[in-house]
Amino acid sequence: MTRANLPALGYVYVALALPALLLGLQHERAKTTLVTGAAFAYLWFIASLRARLVRFDPDGFFASVVVTGSAAYLALQAFAVIDGSTEAAAPSAACAATVIIGSSLAAWRARKIARWFGQAGVVGGIAVLVVGLVEAGADWTLAGGRVFASSLGFMVWVVVTATYLLRR
């Protein structure tokens, strides 16, 4: 795999993380295995995103925000999925929102994406944060199970971003 193809690991992340999220409390070992594979793919996806952001924002502010948010997201999300805990899913939503908003602002300010697309990214990041706050405040999960809507929103962003990075 070349550096140009690393964003495709965003798809692998979603393909592994989504089933882990949907497994619920049964199949603990399968869920842990899926989360481990998803984490590996996610780290490489974020590395490819960071490399692009450094070119968009030479002083590295947004790249730092994205990498920091990504690292915290990964740890909190892995715990939330394995434990089924809204207490961990909510802070992971804040980290996911930081990644979405930071990368959207970097690309928008560098004029690498259309204004409406950058604005949509910021609004999407805010939506992920708000849903995470609702999940925490109400101990709420999607469909009454252990599916975190904030995580699904973040996965949609990963797929869109991976697609964008691969097309460039």
Confidence of residue 26 (pLDDT cuts 50, 70, 90): low
Give residue for tokens 């899913």: 89
Neighbours of 23 (CB within 10 A): 18
Structure tokens at 69: 């948010």
Residue 130 pLDDT > 80: yes
Could you tell me the two tokens for 73?
């997201």
What was the pLDDT predicted at 89? 79
Distance CA 78, CA 17 (A): 9
- The 3-state secondary structure of the chain reads CCHHHHHHHHHHHHHHHHHHHHCCCCCHHHHHHHHHHHHHHHHHHHHHHHHHHHHHCCCCHHHHHHHHHHHHHHHHHHHHHHHCCHHHHHHHHHHHHHHHHHHHHHHHHCCCCCHHHHHHHHHHHHHHHHHHHHHHHHCCCECCCCECHHHHHHHHHHHHHHHHHHHC
CA angle, residues 155, 54, 8, in degrees to nearest 5: 35
Task: Look at residues 31, 64, 59 and name the one whose alpha carbon lies nearest to residue 46.
Answer: 64
pLDDT of residue 19 exceeding 90, the answer is: no
Q: What is the reported pLDDT for 31?
A: 81
- Rounded Cα distance between 8 and 94, Å, is 24
Q: Residue range 93-117: average pLDDT?
A: 91
Mean pLDDT to the nearest integer, 27-39: 85
Q: How confident is the model at residue 1 (pLDDT cuts 50, 70, 90)?
A: confident
Tens digits of residue pLDDT in 35-75:
899 999 999 999 999 998 988 888 889 999 999 999 999 99
